[in-house]
Amino acid sequence: MGIIRLFSSLRGLFAAVSIFLFTFSIWNYNSSTGTAKSKSYVGKGTVVDLESILTDVPPGQGSSAWTEGDEGKFITIGQPVSKIQFNDKGIVDVRTGVPLEGANEGSTFNLAVLKLPRGSKWGFVGVARGPTRLRHFMQINGHSSREQVLVALGLNMTSEGHLIAVTRGQTLDFPMIPREGCSSAGSWIATYGAEDPRLLWTDAGTPALTYARSALDNDRCRSVGLVNDLRSIFPELDAALATGVEDVSPYDGYKEPGQGNDRELYRSDKQGVIEKNWMPFYPGALPDGETAIPHIHYTVKSALSLRPIEITPTRAIYEDVDLGQSTTKSCIGTAHSKSFKIHQASPLYRLTLCDRGCIVTEQNTVNIALSHTQSPTRQYGRFLATFNVSYPFNPISVGPRFHLDGCDDENDINYALSLVPIQQSDIDPSGKPKSTPQIVQPDHFFLDDRMLITMGHNDKEMTSVMTTVREILSRQHMC
Is the confidence at residue 34, as pLDDT, over 70? no
Which residue, 230, 393, 166, 206, is CA-closest to 290?
206
Are the C-beta atoms of 49 and 467 separated by less than 8 Å? no
Q: Calculate mean pLDDT across residues 217-241.
A: 89
Name which of 99-103, 263-267, 391-395, 474-478 the model is least confident about: 99-103
Whether the predicted pLDDT of 123 surpasses 90: yes
State the Cα–Cα distance between residues 177 and 441, nearest whole angstrom: 36
pTM: 0.88
Map out the domains of the chain with their CATH numbers: 29-478 (2.115.10)
Q: Rounded mean pLDDT of 217-225? A: 84
Give the mean pLDDT of the chain: 84
Residue 125's pLDDT band, with cuts at 50, 70 and 90, is very high
Q: Are β-strands 143-148 and 191-193 bridged in parallel, bridged antiparallel, or unpaired?
A: parallel
- Where residue 258 falls among pLDDT bands split at 50, 70, 90? very low
Reported as a single tens digit per residue, the pLDDT across 460-478 is 899 999 999 999 999 999 9
What is the reported pLDDT for 271?
Answer: 55
Residue 81 has pLDDT above 70, yes or no: yes
What's the pLDDT at 101?
82
Hey, which residues does 418 pair with through a beta bridge? 454
Q: What is the pLDDT of residue 253?
A: 67
CA pair distance 299, 102, nearest whole angstrom: 37
**Closest among 106, 82, 103 to 460, alpha carbons compared:** 106
Bond prior to 131 in cis (omega within 30° of 0):
no
- In sequence order, the 6+-apart residues with CB closer than 8 A to the CB of 11 are none
What share of the chain has pLDDT > 90, as a percent?
Answer: 54
pLDDT higher than 80, residue 89: yes
Strands (E), 118-184: 124-129, 132-140, 143-148, 150-157, 163-165, 170-172
82-83 vs 461-468, strand pairing mode = antiparallel
The arithmetic mean of pLDDT across residues 117-143, rounded, is: 87
Contact 88, 401 (CB under 8 A): no
353-401: per-residue pLDDT in tens? 999 999 999 999 999 999 999 888 778 999 999 999 999 999 999 999 9
CB 42 within 8 A of CB 28: no
Please indicate whether residue 113 or residue 428 has the higher confidence score (pLDDT): 113
* DSSP H or E run through 427: helix 424-427
- 244 pLDDT higher than 90: no
Please calculate the CA angle 294-297-300 and round it to the nearest 5 degrees: 165
Residue 18 main-chain phi, psi, to 5 deg: -65, -45
In this prediction, residue 16 carries a pLDDT of 43
**CA pair distance 419, 346, nearest whole angstrom:** 7
Percent of the chain past pLDDT 70, that is, above it, reads 86
pLDDT tens profile 144-180: 888 889 999 999 999 999 999 999 999 998 888 777 7
- pLDDT-derived band at 5 (thresholds 50, 70, 90) equals very low
Rounded mean pLDDT, 418-431:
92
